[in-house]
């Protein structure tokens, strides 16, 4: 079956014309000259967004001279940067002729819907596959409630969010971030505060599966409050410095069942975490990149004073390359790794594979605990279609009148290694050995940076199955 789908990937053709997600149209009459001078810049469609937020992304300014041979690439590069602000549904850049060698730059945008009052209905488990297969699709393992998010408060890209959640995890959260405080639009700040409670808690890992304890009373409560400073000196370079206070409590029963939950049978864990993150982001479209590269690294220290309950140093690094092979064929390669110290870490804080995006495809059902890990992924994909549907005839709200839809067929292979030196070593049979998985699947990319993934994977243990993943930006 894999061979058949691979052949399909290499030979499939489509008669439907694709619309490039970041297609740029330039006035060819203007570019018939050897160069063009940008007379001025006009921005249209920004009803709420301040012009300064758009101009901040442009490396073209009034008075610049563009060579005809590189003008399209310059427009495409600047369009992608505006798209990656996540403030707009569509972005178009055009050079419109004024004279033989003079033109003005027209930036046309369609704003997103910025205020999202949403009902929460989401799974509490690590992923859909675990909930569906391992947890019996129980509706008791669902979170519900209400969340409101403003993605462009005051038209300056500020984000305000508030959450009131119930169900498996009772959680109340408030966050606010300002991307730019200064006139130079380089320095930003953010705040967040959160409180949560659980009556069902994973207290240990057995055979790489999480064991839960259920109770009618609260088993765990967590509080956190943090502040972060951001700095963006250049277009593609981001610095983040964060300080966050954490205070967690567990019931005596959990500490008895697993004395290593907070270590030494503690029922409270209190500490401050300091972290610095450097990000270099040259992806064309951050939500689903097809060209460019990405690098980020974080160094974090949890526990600053001897009196705190956790002392943990962590270094994370992630690098990814995105390259087109031809107009419809692409490949992606990524490397991700973590090292941490000391060896003895609380169960609550130790993280290997199985959380977020840190997993080898084919091992979605498993948790692999460990202090250090490395993960490599390689994907080849073929664009089946890429269109933008105009439904303005039926939809009165301009923010929803254009629906992008793209479908990709892919083949992939992952390899990873988790080093576990101390925790539950006798039952950690997937740690300290090379894990790998491979398969085929589809990625469907649509509205508001939403990506649906359907994979058919096989792992080293010859276990095969379908796996579903869902990523959204709202």
For the chain, list the domains and their CATH numbers: 20-111 (3.10.20.310), 115-471 (2.40.160.50)
- Give residue 26's pLDDT band: very low, low, confident or very high (50, 70, 90): very low
Q: Any idea which of 73-77, 136-140, 174-178 has the lowest mean pLDDT? A: 136-140
Q: Any idea which of 15-24, 129-138, 212-221, 264-273 has the lowest mean pLDDT? A: 15-24
- Cα 128 from Cα 283, distance rounded (Å): 28
* pLDDT tens figures, 380-431: 999 999 988 777 777 776 666 778 889 999 999 999 999 998 766 667 789 9
pLDDT for 10? 42
Residue 18 in this model has a pLDDT that exceeds 70: no
Over the chain, what HEC string results?
A: CHHHHHHHHHHCCCCCCCCCCCCCCCCCCHHHCCEEEEEEEEEECCCCCCHHHHHCCCCCCCCCEEEHHHHHHHHHHHHHHHHCCCCEEEEEEEEEEEECCEEEEEEEEEECCCEEEEEEEEECCCCHHHHHHHCCCCHHHEEEEEEEEEEEECCCCEEEEEEEEEECEEEEEEEEEECCCCCCCCEEEEEEEEEEEECEEEEEEECCEEEEEECCCCCEEEEEEEEEEEECCCCCEEEEEEEEEEEEEECHHHHHHCCCCCCCCCCEEEEEEEEEEEEEECCCCCCCCCCEEEEEEEEEEECCCCCCCCCEEEEEEEEEEEEEEECCEEEEEEEEEEEEECCCCCCCCCCCECECCECCCCCCCCCECCCEEEEEEEEEEEEEEEEEEECCCCCCCHHHCEEEEEEEEEEEEEEEEEECCCCCHHHCCCCCCEEEEEEEEEEEEEHHHEEEEEEEEEECCCCEEEEEEEECCC
pLDDT for 382? 97
pLDDT for 337? 97
Q: Any idea which of 91-95, 191-195, 272-276 has the lowest mean pLDDT? A: 91-95
pLDDT for 67? 86
Residue 42 in this model has a pLDDT that exceeds 50: yes
Q: What is the mean pLDDT of residues 135-141?
A: 69
pLDDT for 251? 93
Give me the percent of the chain exceeding a pLDDT of 90.
49
- Give residue 110's pLDDT band: very low, low, confident or very high (50, 70, 90): confident
Q: Which pTM does this prediction carry?
A: 0.79
């Amino acid at each position: 079956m894999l061979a058949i789908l691979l052949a399909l990937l290499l030979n499939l053709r489509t008669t439907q014309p694709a619309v490039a997600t970041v297609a740029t149209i330039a006035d060819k009459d203007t570019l018939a000259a050897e160069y063009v001078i940008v007379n001025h810049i006009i921005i249209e469609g920004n009803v709420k967004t301040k012009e300064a937020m758009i101009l901040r992304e442009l490396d073209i300014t009034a008075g610049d001279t563009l060579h005809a041979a590189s003008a399209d690439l310059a427009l495409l590069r600047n369009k992608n940067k505006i798209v990656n602000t996540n403030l707009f549904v569509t972005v178009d850049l055009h050079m419109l002729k004024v004279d033989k060698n003079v033109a003005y730059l027209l930036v046309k945008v369609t704003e997103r819907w910025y205020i999202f009052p949403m009902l929460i209905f989401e799974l509490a488990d690590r992923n859909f596959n675990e909930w569906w297969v391992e947890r019996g699709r129980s509706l008791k393992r669902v979170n519900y409630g209400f969340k409101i998010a403003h993605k462009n408060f005051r038209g300056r890209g500020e984000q305000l969010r508030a959450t009131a959640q119930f169900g498996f995890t009772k959680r109340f959260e408030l966050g606010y971030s300002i991307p730019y405080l200064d006139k130079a639009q380089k320095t930003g700040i953010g705040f967040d505060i959160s409180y949560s409670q659980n009556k069902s808690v994973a207290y240990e890992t057995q055979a790489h599966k999480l064991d839960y304890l259920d109770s009618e009373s609260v088993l765990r409560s967590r509080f956190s409050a943090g502040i972060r400073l951001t700095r963006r000196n250049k277009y593609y370079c981001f610095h983040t410095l964060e300080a966050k206070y954490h205070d967690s409590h567990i019931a005596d029963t959990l500490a008895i069942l697993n004395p290593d939950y907070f270590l030494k049978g503690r029922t409270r864990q209190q500490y401050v975490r300091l972290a610095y993150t450097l990000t270099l982001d040259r992806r064309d479209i951050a939500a689903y990149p097809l060209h460019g590269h990405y690098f980020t690294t974080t160094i974090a220290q949890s526990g600053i004073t001897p009196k705190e309950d956790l002392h943990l140093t962590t270094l994370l690094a992630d690098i990814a390359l995105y390259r087109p092979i031809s107009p419809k064929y692409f490949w992606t390669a990524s490397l991700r790794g973590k090292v941490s110290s000391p060896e003895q870490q609380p169960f609550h804080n130790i993280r290997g594979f199985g959380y977020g995006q840190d997993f080898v495809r084919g091992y979605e059902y498993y948790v692999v605990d460990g202090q250090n890990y490395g993960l490599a992924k390689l994907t080849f994909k073929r664009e089946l279609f890429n269109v933008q549907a105009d439904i303005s005839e039926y939809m009165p709200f301009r923010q929803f009148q254009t629906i992008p839809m793209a479908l990709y067929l892919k083949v992939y292979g992952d390899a990873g290694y988790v080093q576990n030196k101390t925790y539950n070593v006798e039952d950690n049979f997937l740690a300290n050995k090379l894990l790998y998985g491979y398969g085929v699947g589809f990625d469907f990319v649509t509205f508001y940076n939403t990506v649906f993934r359907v994979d058919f994977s096989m792992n080293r243990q010859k276990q095969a199955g379908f796996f579903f993943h869902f990523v959204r930006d709202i």
